[in-house]
Amino acid sequence: MKDSIRHLIQQALARLTAEGVLPEGSNPTIQVENTRDKTHGDFASNVAMMLAKPAGMKPRDLAQKLIEALPADPSVSKVEIAGPGFLNFFQNSAALAQRLDAALADPHLSVSKTGSKQRVVVDLSSPNLAKEMHVGHLRSTIIGDAVARVLDFLGDEVIRQNHVGDWGTQFGMLLAYVKEQPKGFDSPELADLEGFYRAAKQRFDESTEFAERARKLVVELQAGDAECLRLWKQFNELSLSHAQEVYDRLNVMLTPDDVKGESAYNAELADIVASLKVKGLLSESNGAQCVFLDEFKNAEGNPLPVIVQKAGGGYLYATTDLASMRYRSQQLKADRALYFVDQRQALHFQMTFEVARRAGFVRSDMQLEHMGFGTMNGADGRPFKTRDGGTVKLVDLLDEAEQRAYSLVKGKNPDLDEGELRQIARAVGIGAVKYADLSKHRTSDYSFNFEQMLSFEGNTAPYLLYAYTRVASVFRKLGTGMDGLGGEINLEAEQEQALGAKLAQFAEVLNGVGEKGVPHLLCSYLYDLAGLFSSFYEHCPILTAESETVKQSRLRLAALTGKTLKQGLALLGLETLERM
Residue 431 pLDDT class (50, 70, 90 cuts): very high
Contact by Cβ (8 Å): 431, 398: no
- Flag whether pLDDT at 390 surpasses 80: no
CA distances from 30 to 9, 49, 87 (A): 8, 11, 12
| pLDDT, average across residues 130-151 | 94
- Flag whether pLDDT at 52 surpasses 80: yes
| pLDDT, average across residues 136-158 | 97
Residue 386 pLDDT class (50, 70, 90 cuts): low
pLDDT tens by residue, 508-531 = 999 999 999 999 999 999 999 999
Residue that wins the pLDDT comparison between 492 and 25: 492
| pLDDT, average across residues 60-87 | 94
- Flag whether pLDDT at 389 surpasses 80: no
| pLDDT, average across residues 335-351 | 97
Residue 332 pLDDT class (50, 70, 90 cuts): very high
Three-state DSSP class for residue 54: helix
- Got the DSSP string for 380-430? TSSB---TTS-PPBHHHHHHHHHHHHHHHHHHH-TTS-HHHHHHHHHHHHH
pLDDT at 308: 96
pLDDT tens by residue, 445-464 = 999 999 999 999 999 999 99
Contact by Cβ (8 Å): 461, 436: yes
Sign of the Cα torsion 463, 467, 468, 469 reads positive
Residue 301 pLDDT class (50, 70, 90 cuts): confident
- Flag whether pLDDT at 385 surpasses 80: no
pLDDT tens by residue, 311-329 = 888 899 999 999 999 999 9
- Flag whether pLDDT at 387 surpasses 70: no
pLDDT at 380: 78
pLDDT tens by residue, 177-192 = 999 888 877 777 777 8
Indicate the average pLDDT of the chain.
Answer: 93
| pLDDT, average across residues 408-419 | 90
| Residue 578 CB burial class (10 angstroms; 0-12, 13-18, ≥19) | exposed
Q: Which amino acid is at 493?
A: A
CA distances from 547 to 287, 476, 554 (A): 84, 20, 11
- Flag whether pLDDT at 391 surpasses 80: no
pLDDT tens by residue, 263-273 = 999 999 999 99
